[in-house]
Every structure is written in structure tokens, then in C-alpha cells.
């Protein structure tokens, strides 16, 4: 589970117009954000399925231990590599060029495909497709709500972010406790938090789009980081919903 919201304050504060009233929003900015998000999701989906069919690759991710099947060294690298990309892009935002940032985002999407290949091993294809459709519908509704509402969602977003921190801590604790009830509670909270974060992030991007000059290098970088933010909201929402809707093989 990854989230970018905690790392994007350095450029939000620079470019966002704090006026929450009606503003003329360059539609090209929002359209570009969603376009790059869609491209990234397409790359991830394709390579997740591709690597799930590669027996040699899947075998390299696991190893036999005294307690049974565990994660190999390569498996841990594949699982943690996406987080490294998020951190590099977030903290390197001011120093990286728009072109390099875009290249990193595409590479991140590819690595995420490798990381998520396991879901095709654990769950049936039909349930994965159903969950993806439900996620897309939920995400779309909340994106529209965040874009069209005149209510300032800043305080609501702060609450959602606090909930996210709680989920991360609870997930780490439950890795050792392995409590099924706790896992269910975390999953419910995850769905609610990332549903709310979607609306907040879209509204935040709407303000950013109204405050940058289209076509400039900073604007191009903000498009990529915005796409990363929404991509992570979508993926995390999908994974939490998959816990409920996914049928195991």
C-alpha cells in the first residue's frame, strides 16, 4: 500500500491558489492528469497479467523455508521497488526535469505490474475484472464529486490522511498478530479512506490546474505527480476492495 499525499506539500504550497471560490480551470491540465493516470494503469494491468503467466518469474519470487513458502530476496525487491520510485519522484520533484519524471512514472507503472502479478495467482480473473469495474465506478463518482463540489474538502482530506496513517500502523501491527478481524477492519477503513482521498485529491488538482501556466515545465511535472497521486488512490482502493470481492482460486 502506497500513498503520495504526505510527500506533495513541497510543490502544492508553491503552485496552488488558495482561493476556494469559482475559478477558471484549464481543462487540459485535468485531462492530461487523467490521461497519464490511464496510461499508467494500462501498463500496470498488462504487465501484471503478463508476469503472472511467466512461471519462471513467479517461481523466482518465492522460496521454501522451514515454516513453508516465503518471499525470496527478489520477491522483496519487486514488492518494495515501487515505494522507492514514489519517494524518488516525490522528493526529487524540484530537481528532476519533466522528461525524467515522466520516464520514472512509466518505469514505476511497469514495476507495479510486476509487483501486482500475484493477484492473478491468488484470485480468479472474473473477480479481478469485477473488482476493477467496481473500483472504476467508485473512483469516477468520487472524482466527479471532488471536481464539481463547491465545498472546501481540505479539513475532510486531513481527516482521511490521519485515517491513512492509522491504517498503515494497524497493518504493520497485524503483520505480526495475523488477526482476521483486524484485517477486516483495516480493509473496510482502507476502502473508506481511499474513496474520500480521491475526492480530496481531485479538488486539490483542480486548484493546481487553475494556478499554473499550461505547457510550462512546472506544469508538465505537476501533471505527472497528479497522475501518480490519483493512480495510487485507484490502486489502493482496488486492492482493498479485492479483499471483499475477490474469489480465491
pLDDT at 14 over 80: no
Summarised one tens digit per residue, pLDDT across range 202-235 is: 999 998 988 887 778 889 999 999 999 999 999 9
Buried b (16+ CB within 10 A) or exposed e, 216-231: eeebbbbbbbbbbbbb
Predicted local confidence at residue 43, as pLDDT: 97
Residue 15 falls inside a structural domain: no
Summarised one tens digit per residue, pLDDT across range 153-195 is: 988 888 998 999 999 999 889 888 888 899 899 999 999 999 9
The stretch 124-151 carries a mean pLDDT of 94
Predicted local confidence at residue 19, as pLDDT: 43
Residue 18 falls inside a structural domain: no
Give the integer Cα–Cα distance in Å for 232 and 247. Answer: 23
Residue 82 falls inside a structural domain: yes
Output the nine-digit C-alpha cell for 157.
482530506
pLDDT at 16 over 60: no
Domain of residue 193 covers 25-245
The structure's pTM equals 0.86
Phi–psi pair at 65, nearest 5 degrees: -120, 175
Residue 12 falls inside a structural domain: no
pLDDT tier, 55 (very low <50, low <70, confident <90, very high otherwise): confident
pLDDT tier, 59 (very low <50, low <70, confident <90, very high otherwise): confident
Residue 117 falls inside a structural domain: yes
pLDDT tier, 25 (very low <50, low <70, confident <90, very high otherwise): very low
Residue 3 falls inside a structural domain: no
Predicted local confidence at residue 108, as pLDDT: 97
Residue 2 falls inside a structural domain: no
Residue 10 falls inside a structural domain: no
- What's the domain count of the chain? 1
Predicted local confidence at residue 110, as pLDDT: 97
pLDDT tier, 2 (very low <50, low <70, confident <90, very high otherwise): low
Amino acid at each position: 500500500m502506497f500513498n503520495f499525499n504526505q510527500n506533495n506539500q513541497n510543490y502544492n504550497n508553491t503552485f496552488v491558489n488558495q482561493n476556494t471560490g469559482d475559478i477558471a480551470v484549464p481543462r487540459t491540465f485535468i485531462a492530461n492528469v487523467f490521461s497519464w493516470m490511464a496510461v499508467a494503469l494500462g501498463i500496470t494491468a498488462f504487465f501484471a497479467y503478463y508476469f503472472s503467466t511467466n512461471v519462471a518469474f513467479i517461481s523466482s519470487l518465492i522460496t521454501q523455508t522451514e515454516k513453508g513458502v516465503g518471499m525470496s530476496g527478489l520477491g522483496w525487491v519487486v514488492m518494495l521497488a515501487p515505494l522507492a520510485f514514489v519517494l524518488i519522484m516525490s522528493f526529487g520533484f524540484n530537481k528532476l526535469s519533466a522528461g525524467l519524471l515522466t520516464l520514472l512514472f512509466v518505469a514505476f507503472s511497469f514495476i507495479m505490474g510486476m509487483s501486482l502479478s500475484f493477484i492473478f495467482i491468488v484470485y480468479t480473473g472474473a473477480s479481478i475484472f469485477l473488482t476493477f469495474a467496481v473500483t472504476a465506478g467508485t473512483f469516477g463518482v468520487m472524482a466527479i464529486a471532488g471536481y464539481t463540489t463547491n465545498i472546501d474538502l481540505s479539513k475532510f482530506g486531513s481527516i482521511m490522511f490521519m485515517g491513512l496513517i492509522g491504517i498503515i500502523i494497524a497493518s504493520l501491527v497485524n503483520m505480526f498478530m495475523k488477526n482476521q478481524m483486524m484485517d477486516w477492519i483495516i480493509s473496510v477503513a482502507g476502502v473508506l479512506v481511499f474513496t474520500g482521498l480521491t475526492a480530496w485529491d481531485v479538488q486539490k488538482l483542480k486548484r493546481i490546474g487553475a494556478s499554473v501556466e499550461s505547457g510550462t515545465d512546472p506544469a508538465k511535472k505537476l501533471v505527472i505527480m497528479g497522475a501518480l497521486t490519483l493512480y495510487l488512490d485507484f490502486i489502493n482502493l482496488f486492492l482493498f476492495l479485492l479483499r471483499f470481492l475477490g474469489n480465491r482460486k
